[in-house]
Structure 1
Amino acid sequence: MSSSKLNLLDFSQTNIRTLHLTWFAFFLTFVMWFSHAPMKPLIMEAFNMTGAQWKALLILNVALTIPARIVIGILVDKFGPRIVFSCLLVVSGLLCLGFAFATSFEQLAIMRFAMGFAGAGFVIGIRMVGEWFPARQVGLAEGVYGGWGNFGSAAAAFSLPTVALLYGGDDGWRYAIASTGVIAFVYGFIFYWKARNTPKGSTYFKPKKSGGLEVTSKKDFYFYLAMNIPMYLILAVLAWKLSPAGVKLLSQTATYTFYGVLVALFVFQFSQIYKVNKEMLAHGAPEHDKYKFKQVAILDWAYFVTFGSELAVVSMLPAFFLETFTSLSLVQAGALGAVFAFMNLIARPGGGYISDRFGRRKSLSIFIAGLTVGYCILSQIDSGWPIFLAVVAVMCCSFFVQAGEGAVFAMVPLVKRRMTGQIAGMAGAYGNVGAVTFLTAYSFVDASTFFLIIGGCAAVIFVIVQFLEEPEGHMTEVLPDGTVQKIELT
C-alpha cells in the first residue's frame, strides 16, 4: 500500500484479512482470560470464597503470563506465529473448560493460574502484524490489533453475565465461561487454515540462536540480565502472597519449593542468555547489526504502567462499581466496569496512529502524563459522585492508558525485526509484572490508594521515557545466505 491510511474493510487485500484474522484470535484469548471478572459474586458464592481468596485468584490470573510471554516470544520467532497462535488457542480453550467445571477452590486456582498462558497470545500477533505492514503503517496496524483484541475483556464483562442468566440456575456462570473456551478451541483450527506468517515472497527472519535475546554490547548484556530480575522478584512475591503468611493456598513446604524452582529457572535463563551472547562477548557485534537495548528496557517500563495498570483495573473495576454504587445490579456493574477496556477500540489504534504521525517519544510521553493525571482523578471517586461522571473519568483515564499501549507497540517492531517476538514478549511480560505488582498492592489497600499508587509509578516512568530515541533510517537483518538486507524505518 502506498498510502499511510488503512482501509480496514478492504478484504481484497491479504494484509487486511490477516490483520482481522489475528486481532480476533487475540480477542478470544482476552475473553477467556477475563471471563471470571464479571462473575465474581456467582463464583464466590459457588465456592464460599473469602475476599482474600478472590484477590489471590486475580493475582494468579496474571502471574503465569510473565514467563509465558517470554517463552511464547521465543517460540514465535523460531516457529512462526501461525502454528504458535493455533496451538495456544486450542490449549487455552481446554484450560478454560477446566476452570468452568472446577469443583474446588484449589482446582479453580490451578486452572486460573494456567489460564495465564492465554494472556501470552498478544505477543504472537505483534510479530505477525509487524511482518505484514510497513514501518509507516505499523503503529496503526498494531494499534488495531492490540486495541480490538484487548476489547475481549470488555466483551466478557458486557456479555457473560447476560449469557449466565440465559443459561439460568446455579451453574449458568459455568456454561457461560465454558462457551468461550469452545469457541477459542474451534477458532484455533480456523486460524491455522487461513493465516500465513508473511506476505508471499517475504523472508521470515529468525534469531541466530534461541533461548534469550541477542544483545550487541557488553554493557547491554549486563543491562539485559538486570532487567530480568524484576520478573523473578514479583513471582517470589506471588509465592509469599499464596503462602501461610498470605491466603494459605500453598503450604510452607510448597512455598519453599516454589522459591527453589524460581532460583533454578533464574540460573537456567541466565545460562541461556550467556550461551546466546557468548560469541558477541568475546568478539563484539558487527557494526551493521547493532541496536541499543535501552530502547527495549524503556518500552518494558512504559508497558509496565500502561498495560499493567489496565490488567489490574479491569480485574477489579466491575466489583469497584458494584461496591461503590450499591444501587447497581451485577449486570450493570459489569457493563460499567467494561468501559475501561471498551476504550481499546479507538484509543489503542489512535495511540499507534499518533505515534506514526508525530513521533514515538513525544507521543508516549504525552500519554503517560495523561494517565498519571487520570489515575489521580479516579482515586477521588466515591459514592457521592454521580455515576455518569465516574464513568466519564474512567473513560478519559482509559484513553491515555490504552493510547500509551498503542504507542509502545508502534515502536516494538522497529527495534530489531528478527527478534520482534522476543522483544514483544519481554515488554508484554513487564506488563504482567505491573499487573501483579498493582494487584498485590490492591490486596493491602483500598481502591483510592490503589489508583494513587499507579499514578505515582506513572510519574516516575514519564521521566524514564524521555531517554527513548526515535528510530531513524533503517535496521539491518542477515539472510540465511549471509546477505545483509536493509529494512526502512520511515
Structure 2
Amino acid sequence: MSNPTFNLLSFSGKMKILHMTWLAFFISFVVWFSHAPLMLAIGKTLNLTDSQIKTILILNVALTIPARIAIGILVDKFGPKRTYSLLLGLGSIPCFMFAFAESFEQLALARFLLGFIGAGFVIGIRMVGEWFPARQIGIAEGVYGGWGNFGSAAASGALPLIALLFGGDEGWRYAVASTGIIALVYAFIYYFSVSDTPQGSTYFKPKKSGAMEVTGVGDLIFYIGMTIPLYATLSLLTWKLSPAGVNMLPGNIAYTIHAFIWVLFLYNVHKIIQVNKDHVFQPVEEIHRYKFKQVTILNLSYLITFGSELAVVSMLPLFFFNTFHETQGVTMVQAGLLGGSFAFMNMVARPGGGWFSDRFGRKLSLTIVTAGVLIGFLCMSQINSSWPVSWAVGVTLACSFFVQAGCGAVYAMVPLIKRRMTGQIAGMVGAYGNVGGVVFLTVLSFVTPAEFFLAIGAVAFFVLIAVQFIDEPKGHMAEVLEDGTIEMIEVN
C-alpha cells in the first residue's frame, strides 16, 4: 500500500495530514468506547442493574446520529482543523463527567453527551479529501477510517490494564479520565499541526448552511424522504428507553421526546426547502449538477456495511459463548477474543477496500464487497454447535473482510460527489451506518442469531441491486471561486 507518491512511512506533506488526522479519529474512538471494557467495574462501584447497564450502552449511540449531521454542517462551514480540535477539546468534558459520576443519572447524562464525539469520523473525511487526489482518495480514506476505527479495540485492550495500574475499585475512573486528558492535549496539538488545504488551494464552502444543496425538484423530494429514517431511528431509541423497553424513561417523558423528534424533523424539512427554494426550480447548468441518488445509494451501502459491523460486534462474543460453550468448552473470555476478531480486520480490510476502489473503479468495488457481505452473512447464519470453532472463526473473518472493505469502498466515493458539501454528505452517510446498527440490534431482540444473520443478508441483497444504479465518478466536478471563476476538480 505504498508507492512513490503514497508512502505510509512518510510524515511530511499530505502524509503528515493523514497520520495526524487518523490519530485524531483514533483518540475520539478511544474516548467514545472507554466505558465498554470497564462496565463490570463501573457497575460494581455504582451498584448498577443489568437494565441500567443496557441503558448506558444504548445512550452511547443515541446522540451520534444527529451529531454526524450537525458535524457535517460545521466542518463544511468552519473547516476540519477548527472543528476537530474543538470536538476533541469539548469531548473531554463529558468524559471527565463520566469518570467521576456518583450516580446512574450522572453516568447516563455523560454517556449520552459523549455520543457527540463519535461523530468525529466525519471531519477527517473532509480533511483527507482536501489533501489527496482522486486516484488516491480511496486508500487514504481507508487508512484514515480503518486505523482510526481501531481506537475502540485499543480501548478494550489498554484501559483495563490502566485501571489495574491505578488499582482499587476506583481504578476505572482514572482510566476513563486519562482518555479525556489525551483528547484535550491532542486538540491543541492538532490545531497547531495541520491546515485545512494544501498551500494555494481553496477551501470551498456551501453557499448556504443548515442543509445540503440539491439541483432538482426530484432530488429535493428524495432528500426529504431520506431524512425520515434518521428521525425514525431516534424514535426507536426512545421507545427502547420507554416503559415498553428498558423502562428508563417514564411514559409521559418518552411521548414528549417522540414529539420533539418529529417537530425537529419538520424544522429540518423547512431548512431543506429554505436552502434550496431559490435555485431548485430554476435550470441548473450541467457542470454544477449532481445526482442525489449517489448519496442515497452510499447511505444504504454504509447501512449494510458499518451498520452490520456495529450490530455484529455487539452480539458476537455472546453468540460464540452460547453456541460453543457446552459442546466445545469455549469460555466467556475466549468468546470475547473470538468476537473481537470481527473488528480486527479494520486495520487491513478498510484500506484494502479503498485501494481496490481507486484501482478498479467505485461501482465495481461496491458491487463486489456488497455481494461478499451477502454471501458472508448467509454463511454465518449456518454456524451451529456442531461446527469446529476454527471454521466458525474463518467464516466470521471472511464476512468481516467484506464488511470492512465495504466501509472503505463507500468513503472512497463520498469526497467525489460535491467538494463543498463533503462534510454534510459524509455526515449523512455516517448517520445511516448508525441507523443500520440500531435497526439490526432491534431485529436481534426479536429473532434468533441465525435469523438475525439472514435478515442482514436479505438487506444486503436489496442494497446490491441498488448499487447497480450508482454512477461511476467521471471527469470533473465544478466549484465556484470567490471571484466567480470556476475550478474543475478531477474525480477519476
Q: Does 1:6 align with 2:2?
A: no
Q: Does 1:18 align with 2:17?
A: yes
**Which residue is equivalent to 2:60?**
61
Q: Does 1:355 align with 2:354?
A: no
Question: After the TM superposition, which of the residue ranges 413-422 and 262-271 deviates more from structure 2?
Answer: 262-271
Q: SS of the counterpart of 2:150?
A: helix
Contiguous gaps of at least 5 residues in structure 2: none
Question: After the TM superposition, which of the residue ranges 147-156 and 344-353 deviates more from structure 2?
Answer: 147-156
Residue 232 of structure 1, CA deviation: 0.6
Residue 323 of structure 1, CA deviation: 5.1
Q: Does 1:400 align with 2:399?
A: no
AA paired with 1:406? G
Q: SS of the counterpart of 1:136?
A: helix
**Which residue is equivalent to 1:218?**
217
Residue 325 of structure 1, CA deviation: 5.1
Please give the alpha-carbon distance, in whole angstroms, between the structure 2 residues aligned to 1:170 and 1:446. 37
Change (3 A) 1:433 1:248: same
Q: SS of the counterpart of 1:182?
A: helix
CA contact (8 A) 1:32 1:177 kept: yes
Q: 2:467 aligns with which of 465, 468, 477?
A: 465
Residue 150 of structure 1, CA deviation: 0.8
Change (3 A) 1:180 1:305: same
Q: Identity over the aligned pairs, expressed in percent?
A: 60
Change (3 A) 1:378 1:36: farther
Q: Which aligned pairs between 1:270-309 and structure 2 lie closer than 5 A?
A: 270-309=269-308
Residue 387 of structure 1, CA deviation: 3.8
**Which residue is equivalent to 2:249?**
250
**Which residue is equivalent to 1:29?**
28
Residue 90 of structure 1, CA deviation: 1.3
Question: After the TM superposition, which of the residue ranges 177-186 and 196-205 deviates more from structure 2?
Answer: 177-186
CA contact (8 A) 2:217 2:281 kept: no
**Which residue is equivalent to 1:452?**
454
Residue 365 of structure 1, CA deviation: 1.2
**Which residue is equivalent to 2:417?**
415
AA paired with 2:189? I
Q: Which aligned pairs between 1:115-264 and structure 2 lie closer than 5 A?
A: 115-264=114-263
CA contact (8 A) 2:76 2:423 kept: yes
Q: Does 1:373 align with 2:375?
A: yes
Q: SS of the counterpart of 1:129?
A: helix
Question: After the TM superposition, which of the residue ranges 36-45 and 233-242 deviates more from structure 2?
Answer: 36-45
Change (3 A) 1:382 1:29: farther
AA paired with 2:36? A
Please give the alpha-carbon distance, in whole angstroms, between the structure 2 residues aligned to 1:154 and 1:446. 27
Residue 180 of structure 1, CA deviation: 1.8
AA paired with 2:32? W
Q: 2:342 aligns with which of 326, 340, 343?
A: 340
AA paired with 1:368? T
Change (3 A) 1:389 1:177: farther
CA RMSD of aligned residues (A): 2.1
Please give the alpha-carbon distance, in whole angstroms, between the structure 2 residues aligned to 1:165 and 1:321. 27
Q: SS of the counterpart of 1:279?
A: coil
Change (3 A) 1:317 1:154: farther
So what's the TM-score if we normalise by structure 1? 0.94
Question: After the TM superposition, which of the residue ranges 71-80 and 452-461 deviates more from structure 2?
Answer: 452-461
Question: After the TM superposition, which of the residue ranges 172-181 and 286-295 deviates more from structure 2?
Answer: 172-181
AA paired with 1:480? E
Change (3 A) 1:243 1:99: same
Contiguous gaps of at least 5 residues in structure 1: none
Change (3 A) 1:29 1:324: farther
Q: SS of the counterpart of 2:280?
A: helix
Q: Does 1:479 align with 2:486?
A: no
Please give the alpha-carbon distance, in whole angstroms, between the structure 2 residues aligned to 1:374 and 1:332. 22
CA contact (8 A) 1:38 1:318 kept: no
Please give the alpha-carbon distance, in whole angstroms, between the structure 2 residues aligned to 1:297 and 1:265. 21
CA contact (8 A) 1:157 1:335 kept: no
Question: After the TM superposition, which of the residue ranges 88-97 and 466-475 deviates more from structure 2?
Answer: 88-97
> Over residues 234-281 of structure 1, what are the superposed CA-to-partner deviations in whole Å (9 max), with x where a residue is unaligned?
111111111112111111121111012112211111111111101113
AA paired with 2:152? S
Residue 321 of structure 1, CA deviation: 4.3
AA paired with 2:408? G
Change (3 A) 1:195 1:228: same
Change (3 A) 1:55 1:366: farther
The alignment of Structure 1 onto Structure 2 pairs a total of residues equal to: 488
Q: SS of the counterpart of 1:216?
A: coil
Q: SS of the counterpart of 2:210?
A: coil
AA paired with 1:460? F
AA paired with 1:488? E
> Over residues 176-206 of structure 1, what are the superposed CA-to-partner deviations in whole Å (9 max), with x where a residue is unaligned?
2222222112111111111110001100000
Q: SS of the counterpart of 1:477?
A: strand
AA paired with 1:182? I
CA contact (8 A) 2:216 2:281 kept: no
Question: After the TM superposition, which of the residue ranges 391-400 and 128-137 deviates more from structure 2?
Answer: 391-400
